[in-house]
Structure 1
Amino acid sequence: MTPEQKKKRVVIKIGSSSLTSRHGEISRKKLEKLTEEIVELKDAGHEVVLVSSGAVAAGYRKLGCIVRPTSLPEKQAAASIGQGLLMESYSELFLSHGYVASQILITRSDFSDENRYNNVRNTIHVLLERGIIPIVNENDTVTIDRLKFGDNDTLAAKVAGLIQSDQLIILSDINGLYDADPRKNRDAKLLENVYHITPEIEAGAGDSGSTIGTGGMRSKIDAAKIAMASGITTFLGKAGKPNIICDAVSGRAMGTYFQVTDPTINLNQKKQWIAFHSGPEGEIHTNEAGRDAILMKKESLQTNFVNKVVGNFPKGAVVRIIDEENEEIGLGVVNFSANDILDPERREEDRVVIDVQDMVCHLDISIPVGL
């Protein structure tokens, strides 16, 4: 790490299997290695946010389970034990190097609500300004539909976009992205640089390669897509390699770099929230003229372009925009409630239903095809 290097804001995601022993317990040796590398980044002036898995893996044996539990109550109970153990270890190790760590537990609903989304961002910004290391995880003990955010790979990508990170680093038990499954094909080649995520790459993504973790290659590709759409380069590599974090920041690590080459693929904070975090509350079906206005002319959606409204959404809700072929064009924040849009007395008025500034089309966030 050299003094002349640009200081970066880095989000690091570490997987469960990279933190625990083969018995499912927290590995002190792995934690020490991870914290020492993060400390080296901090000493060099970089800002670091850590998205850490491992709560369930760290806690299930102390819950009395011989193997990782499969029922939601047991997973949540294990997480309630393991999360405390993880934070205790992280805090102790970082304090020994003079750095304070903080804990941020969130749920998907914190991201889907725009006010809470902004509050999370503001909190992390304050912590980073004070030199503190935020450690983020999903609040596993209260998640009601499923334990994962999608998974922590996706969570890390969303956090990276939330705080306008310079780089996302995903550490796991694999070396990176290959052109074939290296466990089945000896000739599989590591893809050191990926500039576009192709349908072939997505189709070839497999399931979780570990019995400890929950995120497989598909989740890592999805995370890279989210980060790339936010203008953030992503690195995927193996946690156990020496100096992997510092080398990843310096661009020297062995692994896969998902590179951002198109500066126009960079959604602002508002559009990131619309695209990746909001929960659409209804649909607006537009005619062909409306579709052309949105996709070709980059214009707002007017009242006279609306064919149909589905749902009873309020003003300010996020809705799906659907064309006459029943294909989803994108998402947008409506200026009127569903009832106001359908009001026959106001139907002929020249009103902007969705402003172009509050709209995200799938073309805006798609990653071009071709390696």
Structure 2
Amino acid sequence: MSDGDKQANQIKRVVIKIGSSSLTSTHGEISRKKLEKLVEQIVELKDAGYETAVVSSGAVAAGYRKLGCIERPTTLPEKQAAASIGQGLLMESYSELFLSHGYVASQILITRSDFSDEIRYENMKNTLNVLLDRGIIPIINENDTVTVDRLKFGDNDTLSAKVAALIDADQLLILSDINGLYTDNPNKNPDAKMLEKVFSITPEIEAAAGGSDSSVGTGGMKSKIAAFKIAMASGIHSFLGKAGTPDILMDAVQGKAKGTYFEIKPDAFNLDHEQQWIAFHSGPEGKIFINQQAKSNIINEKICIALEDIIEVNGSFDEGAVVRIFDETKEEIGLGRINYSSDALIQKNVQEKPVIEQESFVYAKDFMALETV
């Protein structure tokens, strides 16, 4: 059995992210031809036994001309109005095309606050699992019509990575208008080389990531690198390739597509669901500072943080909140779910439970994406 066949047999749940430029015409409207080709490839995966969820951009791009705008709008109200038109058009097209192949598509619109609220987070996961288990194809997008700037994901690259982690996907496929990750911007540097495999996101890779070159999309290479950080920290193999490439999806899951594979080393540390929520979704509410011995204990010896380890408490938070953890030198160590309120810690009113248990602690170097919180 070839490596490609072995990988294909192992990968059963796939999240596919489709960018705006991969779906729309030069006039900014939905390209029926592009959409049909992508749907046909997704159907091929479904027929081969894969569970597929689609994170699809394109709502604003599809709707702004029907709103009466000549160019893509720049103000938030116009973007949201365009999305309210375009999302319906986008979903109608997906539903019709998938039904013609015998598959049912569903619509899920998500905001960042859906991830930060633990109850809604669990509800999303349960809903998606039911849909996937029953052969439905979820079409997921950010709820642009109601989301305010401070609660936006910013682009669907980040959303696709968070969805992939949420549903324990085996692989994340990000389709774009570029055919992989390069050592530099290939549009500006003819000597830039495409990386076929990436095992870790290095500072050099981050430095090479630029802005968006698309007039209809919001996510550039920088946002894709942030997405791959989340996926890799969650133990999910990922791929970046060009949307218009024939058979790109099937080739990608079989390990033979032209593009960049972001692969997980066998001995790599992966965050579990609790740690993923703490690291990527929680929204820390305060800070605690611990002594150097406690820092070494929780990182190296996996010993919980106790009351006597704390040298300072900043902010107001309740029991069960997620807080940022610093050492005596003000260096940020990571995040943790705290067992006591800030008042209880200040008053030293604690019981037998540790302040932060080891399984509720996430070391910053383990998830590599502290800035995405």
TM-score, normalising length from structure 1? Answer: 0.95
Which residue matches 2:368?
Answer: 366
Which residue matches 1:43?
Answer: 47
CA contact (8 A) 1:304 1:350 kept: no
Segments ≥4 residues shifted beyond 4 Å: 1-4
- Map Cα deviations across residues 29-75 of structure 1 (whole Å, 9 max, x no partner): 00000000000000000000000000000000000000000000000
Answer yes or no: is 1:53 the counterpart of 2:57.
Answer: yes
The structural deviation recorded for 1:366 is 3.2
Which residue matches 1:230?
Answer: 234
Query: Matched residue of 2:325: which SS?
Result: strand
Which residue matches 1:161?
Answer: 165
Which residue type is aligned with residue 114 of structure 2?
Answer: D
The structural deviation recorded for 1:5 is 3.0
Which residue matches 1:326?
Answer: 330
Which residue matches 2:307?
Answer: 303
Which shows bigger deviation, 319-328 or 358-367? 358-367
Answer yes or no: is 1:210 the counterpart of 2:226.
Answer: no
In structure 2, which of residues 71, 79, 89 is the aligned counterpart of residue 67 of structure 1?
Answer: 71
The structural deviation recorded for 1:321 is 0.6
The structural deviation recorded for 1:20 is 0.1
Hey, what's the Cα distance between the residues in 1 that align with 2:151 and 2:87? Answer: 14
The structural deviation recorded for 1:6 is 3.6
The structural deviation recorded for 1:291 is 1.1
Are the structure 2 counterparts of residues 310 and 208 from structure 1 closer, same or farther at C-alpha, using a change threshold of 3 Å? same
- Map Cα deviations across residues 258-313 of structure 1 (whole Å, 9 max, x no partner): 11114442111111100111111111111112211122212111000011111111
CA contact (8 A) 1:233 1:260 kept: yes
Hey, what's the Cα distance between the residues in 2 that align with 1:114 and 1:262? Answer: 30
Answer yes or no: is 1:274 the counterpart of 2:278.
Answer: yes
Alignment of 1:173-252 (within 5 A): 173-252=177-256
CA contact (8 A) 1:284 1:322 kept: yes
The structural deviation recorded for 1:350 is 6.2
In structure 2, which of residues 137, 146, 161 is the aligned counterpart of residue 142 of structure 1?
Answer: 146
Which residue matches 1:10?
Answer: 14
The structural deviation recorded for 1:195 is 1.2
Query: Matched residue of 2:270: which SS?
Result: coil
Answer yes or no: is 1:316 the counterpart of 2:320.
Answer: yes
Query: Matched residue of 1:352: which SS?
Result: coil
The structural deviation recorded for 1:196 is 1.6
CA contact (8 A) 2:11 2:253 kept: no
TM-score, normalising length from structure 2? Answer: 0.95
Which residue type is aligned with residue 359 of structure 1?
Answer: F
The structural deviation recorded for 1:242 is 0.3
Which residue matches 1:125?
Answer: 129
Which residue type is aligned with residue 212 of structure 1?
Answer: V
Are the structure 2 counterparts of residues 147 and 335 from structure 1 closer, same or farther at C-alpha, using a change threshold of 3 Å? closer
Which residue matches 2:357?
Answer: 355
Instruction: Say how many residue pairs are matched.
Output: 365
Give structure 2 stretches of 5+ with no counterpart: none
Structure having the larger proportion of residues in helix: 2
CA contact (8 A) 1:87 1:103 kept: yes
Which residue type is aligned with residue 122 of structure 2?
Answer: N
Give structure 1 stretches of 5+ with no counterpart: none
Hey, what's the Cα distance between the residues in 2 that align with 1:79 and 1:137? Answer: 10
